[in-house]
Amino acid sequence: MKKLVLLLFIIITPSIAISELPEGMVLVPEGEFTMGTDEDNAPDDQHPERKVQVDAFYMDIHEVTNAQFNEFILADGYNKRQFWTKDGWDYIQKERFFFSYPGRIKYRIDKPLGFGENHISTDPDHPVLGVSWYEASAYAKWVGKRLPTEAEWEKAARGTDARLYPWGNEFDFSKLKYFPHHEKLEPVGSYPDGASPFGVMDMAGSLAEWCADNIHGKDTKVVRGGGWNSIRLHLRSIHRVTHPPTYRYYNIGFRCVVDAD
């Protein structure tokens, strides 16, 4: 009975002792960081610059890959109600054709692909894209993790010195997957020199990423960072946009976090 109670606690409230570094994750320690900006030319939703306290957590070094998301499908986690929010479960009952072939990701994107078609890849080590917030959240719960909050994401990207990009304050084409200079999506972690201060990869370029947060009670979710086809301003670590949780797009993916005790 004690083992059962412990197991249920871990599933409901995933957390790991700081001494037990999970495979494929890095520790972002507890503490304060600078969130947002006071720049006059920045959108209002990036204001103001302020100090934010964040508890310790572990974050995936890499964005979730096609191989990892396929494990979720092949294990039939995609069809298990327990991993979904109520609204997410109701939604995917209507959209079940989206993953109608086990183990094969079939993309349905909300806007015409255009030149983005060249970036869609089912290679196992490439980041999974075109996944809605509902699907990202369900995968995270299935694997015993969760989506990061905005504050967690931004701290992991900026560190504690308020840098504009994960690697520093100067834009550098060589440190990220960015369309004008790199024609194809690449395996996760292909730009190690672009890692954040905590060692998290691809937090600029590659794919923008879903976060856990709702915006002001609306049925919209936050996407942080910029993807392979973003303009340079959107590749800064303070950039944020919102979309409905049903939204799928060819430059949006995700990564997961776990609380650290």
Q: Bigger pLDDT: 261 or 24? A: 24
Number of structural domains in the chain? 1
**Residue 141, Cβ density class (10 Å: 0-12 exposed, 13-18 middle, ≥19 buried):** buried
Q: Specify the pLDDT at position 46.
A: 64
Helices of type H across the chain = 2-12, 66-74, 86-94, 133-142, 150-158
As a whole number, mean pLDDT of residues 17-30 equals 84
As a whole number, mean pLDDT of residues 219-240 equals 89
- The model's pLDDT over 48-92, given as tens digits with 9 standing for 90+, comes to 768 888 999 999 999 999 999 989 988 889 889 999 999 999 988
Strand partners, 31: 54
Q: Which residue has the tokens 């560190």?
A: 159
Q: Give residue 142's domain range.
A: 2-260
As a whole number, mean pLDDT of residues 134-158 equals 96
Q: Specify the pLDDT at position 122.
A: 74
Q: Specify the pLDDT at position 93.
A: 82
Is pLDDT of 161 > 60? yes
Strand partners, 84: none
Please give the single-letter amino acid code of residue 51. Answer: K
Other beta carbons within 10 Å of 216: 8
What CATH number has the domain bearing residue 74?
3.90.1580.10
Q: What is the pTM of this model?
A: 0.85
Strand partners, 209: 224, 253
